[in-house]
Amino acid sequence: MYLKNCWYVAAWDYELIDGKMLARTILNENVLLYRGASGEVIALNNRCPHRGALLSEGRREGDGVRCMYHGIKYDQGGRCVQIPGQDMIPPKLRTRKYPIVESARLIWIWMGDPAHADRTLIPEYAPLHDPKWRGTPAYLHYDANYLLIVDNLSDFSHLAFVHTNTLGGSEEYAYVTKPVVVERQPRGFRVERWHMNSEAPPFHKKVIRDKDARVDRRNHVIMLIPGIFYMETMFTPAGQGAEKGNTQNAREYRNCQYMTPETDRTTHFFWSYLNNFEGSDPTISQSLLDSLIEGFMEDKAIIERQQKTLDADPAFESQMLAILADAPLAHFRRALSKLIEAEQGAPAIVAAATKVPSLA
């Protein structure tokens, strides 16, 4: 069950270079993405309505695509415009076209009713539009349901244990820090967490000069339905009063992560980790990219194993026991279930939603 009437990230623009015909399953639907001759990004259902050959194995012609089984051609709207050897074109011979918006290198897709595809509903992330923030867009594929990744990002105490030697720095992070803000929102949540007077975590140490200086660290995250994560991170010299607004000599990062369901058990994971201090030294972005990949591989190993555990005993999902730190993830799942229920008008979903442990 997915929320359909919302924007999902389908790809980064770099995935569509050189005339690439990208076959990508999104919400269990097989979609073809490509950039047409006009420059517009086009998304069509990837199945040729004639006999089911894959259009991604076809040939791009202008803004359209020709199926390379029997040569039927479709335009950018998915309408059949040519059948070799046949003049009459049945109006029903068409494949579904999905609304697309390209913005800040992201290709957004609307999987629901096209009549509701309002581009102002895209949760634009300002740093992606601002050249002062530098970073490298990246993609990872997960063999796990997207909500397990949302869960992971909902509780940063995992930084201490999963990412001790990469993004976290020490187990202390889980013991001595607590969220100072946990704000439930109608379409997500906001959490703010400080770690005062600590050693800099390894990923940050790699890109700063004074590696032994103690730091105050702020993580401020926003998670939005259907699975969009934005994070501000700030490191300041320890004890200068950053929590009261003294952000002198701060080193800052901005991070976006987009979880798009591929299937019920797999996820497309798009992200970019941005900094504002690299100046003319692109090795900083490169170092951060490498560190983040290293860190995300640690998440991926745990989450994919977790998915296997859940698959082996599906009843366990409703028996999982909550701790206080699960409040944001529990709220997120409840809010999402409500929206899906409203969209589908299916009372059964309400019953499923009440199984989520409540800590409110």
Closest residue to Fe ion using C-beta atoms: 299
* Cα distance between residue 50 and residue 54, in whole Å: 10
Report how many residues bind ligand FES under the rule CB under 6 A.
8
Nearer to ligand FES, 23 or 53 (CB): 53
How far, in whole angstroms, is CA 94 from its chain's centroid?
30
* Cα distance between residue 299 and residue 191, in whole Å: 19
Q: Which residues share a beta bridge with 268? A: 141, 260
Residues 6+ apart with CB under 8 A from 144: 265, 266, 267, 300, 303, 304, 306, 307
Distance of closest approach, residue 71 Cβ to ligand FES, in angstroms: 6
Contact 133/232 with Cβ under 8 angstroms?
no
Q: Does residue 70 bind ligand FES (CB under 6 A)? A: yes
Q: Does residue 250 bind ligand FES (CB under 6 A)? A: no
For 209, other C-beta atoms within 10 Å of its C-beta total 5
Q: Which residues share a beta bridge with 54? A: 47
**3-state secondary structure (DSSP) of residue 101:** strand
The correct pick among 21, 43, 67, 340 for binding ligand FES (CB under 6 A) is 67
Nearer to ligand FES, 67 or 174 (CB): 67
**Interaction partner, residue 72 (Fe ion, ligand FES, none; CB < 5-8 Å by kind):** ligand FES
Nearer to Fe ion, 171 or 281 (CB): 171
**Interaction partner, residue 50 (ligand FES, Fe ion, none; CB < 5-8 Å by kind):** ligand FES
Q: Does residue 299 bind Fe ion (CB under 5 A)? A: yes
**Interaction partner, residue 299 (Fe ion, ligand FES, none; CB < 5-8 Å by kind):** Fe ion
The DSSP element (H or E) to which 180 belongs, if any, is strand 179-185
The correct pick among 12, 69, 139, 194 for binding ligand FES (CB under 6 A) is 69
- Main-chain dihedrals φ then ψ at residue 274, nearest 5 degrees: -110, 145
Distance of closest approach, residue 324 Cβ to Fe ion, in angstroms: 19
For 348, other C-beta atoms within 10 Å of its C-beta total 10
Q: Does residue 187 bind ligand FES (CB under 6 A)? A: no
Options 46-54, 145-153, 189-197, 260-268: segment touching ligand FES (CB under 6 A): 46-54
CA 66-69-70 angle, to 5 degrees, is 80
Residues that bind ligand FES (CB under 6 A): 48, 50-51, 53, 67, 69-70, 72
Residues that bind Fe ion (CB under 5 A): 299
